[in-house]
Amino acid sequence: MTDATTPTSGPTPAQVEPEPVPNLPVRPPVPPMLAKPVKAMPKQDGTLIYEPKWDGFRCIVFRDGDEVYLGSRNERPFTRYFPELVEAVRAELPDRVVVDGEIVLPRGSQLDFEALQQRIHPATSRVRMLSEQTPASFVAFDLLALGSESLMETPFAERRERLEGIFGAAGRSIRLTPVTRDDGQAAEWFETFEGAGLDGIIVKPGDQPYVPDKRAMFKVKHERTADVVIAGYREHKTGPIVGSLLLGLYGDDGRLHHVGVAASFPMARRAELVEELRPYLADLGEHPWGHWAEQAAGTVGRPTPSPATGGQRVPGAVSRWNAKKDLSFIPLRPELVIEVAYDQMEGDRFRHTAQWRRWRPDRTPRSCTYEQLERPVSYDLDDILAR
């Protein structure tokens, strides 16, 4: 389950036919039950059930015969974007069922969240092409209804047993997440499964009903630190104060690559940062990312440039989730270094917003390279799902 932003924009109602709403005991839209972050793995108290935290799009699947509806976390359906999953649900799940889980995109032995993001596209022809080139899978971890019976009030331990019961003849596209009641085993999973693209552990009280839109579970995620270069900032939506700092790391090619942002500051601190950064204002033409607009325009519809592909990762011109959002930035001379906390990498950039920790006046910008980043132990995705 990911906290990544699901699409906030997309095809207008005029572009997409209204989707059928299955006639089930639990009907869409249902906002999924959520998890609150905790620093340490909760100890087993006799009720807890531990499972891997999947890195994809949270989705609740509703099936009523041939009618299939893929609900998203923000209640905007995924159905049109994943036609291969619609067919897989018809082939691999019971006739009338509601299942909570995660849409993921396996690439070899790992998950590829960046490729999964590319699946959200307004053009039907491209959706069809991507469904064949980069097919997604669905990992199930909860059962909300079966047949004419709602299981929303049923304790999770029982829901899990019922969920296992429908996977006797499941295929390769609809998979069941492993679970354990051993907190020691969960701690081992936390350390080893990250190499397959998973980003933590979800902890669920076994005696709990399904509570939509409530943080009634727990999540334990990785947190690491890195020293990064501040190369610019974007203004806050309320005015000329800092909205987010643009962060960079130097690659083996000697170029500064955009790796993410730090954005969680009190309003007063945002105003202070404007003054602290003012002496470092730079001309875009002389900035390492001065060609960002040209490069962004030339890569529309193509994979994002990165150190791994021989290109330079720079801030994009348009958000793929909101085409009206201006992502231009105020350039700064790349002379300031800060320490940030991050949970995991997505390819060559931070998967989520990084958290400011402190200034690092003792570090030179050129010393801020990818080499400092911790790489998780590699682990095969199929081995995890086979448990």
Q: Which residues are catalytic?
A: 53
Q: Please give the Cα distance from 168 to 171 (Å, whole number).
A: 9
Give the other-Cβ count within 10 Å of 206's Cβ: 17
Q: Count the alpha carbons within 13 Å of 110 in the hemisphere toward its beta carbon.
A: 17
Please check whether residue 208 is in contact with residue 49, taking contact to mean a CB–CB distance below 8 angstroms: no
Give the single-character DSSP code of 333. E
User: Which residues have a Cβ under 8 Å from the Cβ of 22 and sit 6 or more positions away?
Assistant: 28, 62, 63, 64, 67, 68, 69, 96
Name the packing angle between helices 83-92 and 124-133 (round to 10°): 60
> Residue 64: CB partners within 8 Å, gap ≥ 6?
22, 23, 24, 95, 96
Start-to-end Cα distance in the chain? 19
The SS3 of residue 47 is coil
Instruction: Please state, in angstroms and as integers, the Cα–Cα distance from residue 284 to each residue in 82, 97, 274, 287, 332, following that order.
Output: 40, 55, 17, 5, 8
Instruction: Say which DSSP state 12 is in.
Output: -
Q: What distance in Å separates the CA atoms of residue 57 and residue 68, rounded to the nearest whole number?
A: 17
Nearest CA to 150 among 168, 140, 162? 162
